[in-house]
Amino acid sequence: MSFHGEALRTIGQAALKTTYLTQMGVGALGNAILLFHNIAPGLLGHSPRPPHTILTHMALANLLFLLSSGVLYTMAAFVSRKPLNSLGCKFAYYVQRVALSTALCSTCVLSTYQAFTLTPRRAECVMLRGRVPWVTGPSCCTCWMLSLLMYIYVPVKITGPQDTHNYTHSQGKWFCSVSGTVTGLGYLWFISDAMFITLMVCSSGSMVLLLHRHHQRVQYLHTPTGHHRCPPETRAAHTILMLMVAFVTFYLLNYSLVFHISAFSDFRLWLLQVSHVLASCFPTISPFLLLLRDPRTPRFCS
């Protein structure tokens, strides 16, 4: 019985390792393509539009998150002795947390920008909307600065893997450790994430209402083929709604698992591995969703 349990555990861990490494490779490639896709107009001398600027920051943050967490996981999974020292853990975890926070903040900026784009054309809305493109770049830079400052204390709390005798079933030497408690910082990080997610949900909700009203107004209009032509703003709003739903879903799933691990000190290896897989789902999926929904993408790619 123990032999079968050990065999199933080995197969499960191998499947999780393969899944995570596939996520890291595919996600890094997708974000690199998205990054080049949005900086290419600037390289060709064209003035980049605000969504291109926001997506450039988002793709860079996702790429840094996947690479930093990929280094941690790859070293832990395939290096048998001392996978990562304390300094490496501090640097990798700091970059990982900053990149994840910046990706969330950039997604919030993108959702808010698109909500302003869809606002009715009243005089005050037009004036406010005219200023929005000028603040998207500084807003994304502010996201980076806030994340760098908010997680500056992470390297102090992170140490290298601890030597334990149970290397198979628990955290052991596999992952970096946290020294002391981070309860106060955890509340701060949670409040920050909750604030950005609330802004995303509110702006996405306003877009849903605006699109619903627009659909009711033009319901009597039909093209010769019997279908409505989807305006670029509506298509972009649909894409951002998909991004918001995907981010909130994976975030809540991962947060529930992290809360269980922290609250019950349950550091079993497979739980940590599943948590890493869930945390990497959105950075892996989002670039392909954005690329496939972008009208600039060639048809053969879509």
Kindly list the domain boundaries of the chain, sorted by start residue.
2-162+172-213+227-293
Q: Where is average pLDDT lowest: 139-143, 217-221, 243-247, 278-282?
A: 217-221
Q: How confident is the model at residue 226 (pLDDT cuts 50, 70, 90)?
A: very low
Nearest to 52 by CA among 133, 144, 146, 141: 133
Q: Would you say the pTM of this structure is higher than 0.85?
A: no
Strand partners, 177: 159
Give the mean pLDDT of 163-168: 46
CATH code assigned to 2-162+172-213+227-293: 1.20.1070.10
> What's the pLDDT at 143?
94
Cα–Cα distance measured from residue 219 to residue 155, given in angstroms and rounded to the nearest whole number = 56
> What's the pLDDT at 137?
84
> What's the pLDDT at 169?
47
Give the mean pLDDT of 269-285: 87
The encoded tokens of residue 164 equal 């334990």
Give the mean pLDDT of 236-253: 88
Three-state DSSP state, 291: helix
162-171 contact pairs (CB < 8 A, 24+): 168/9, 168/269, 169/268, 169/269, 170/267, 170/268, 170/269, 171/267, 171/269, 171/272
> What's the pLDDT at 282?
93
Contact 4, 258 (CB under 8 A): no
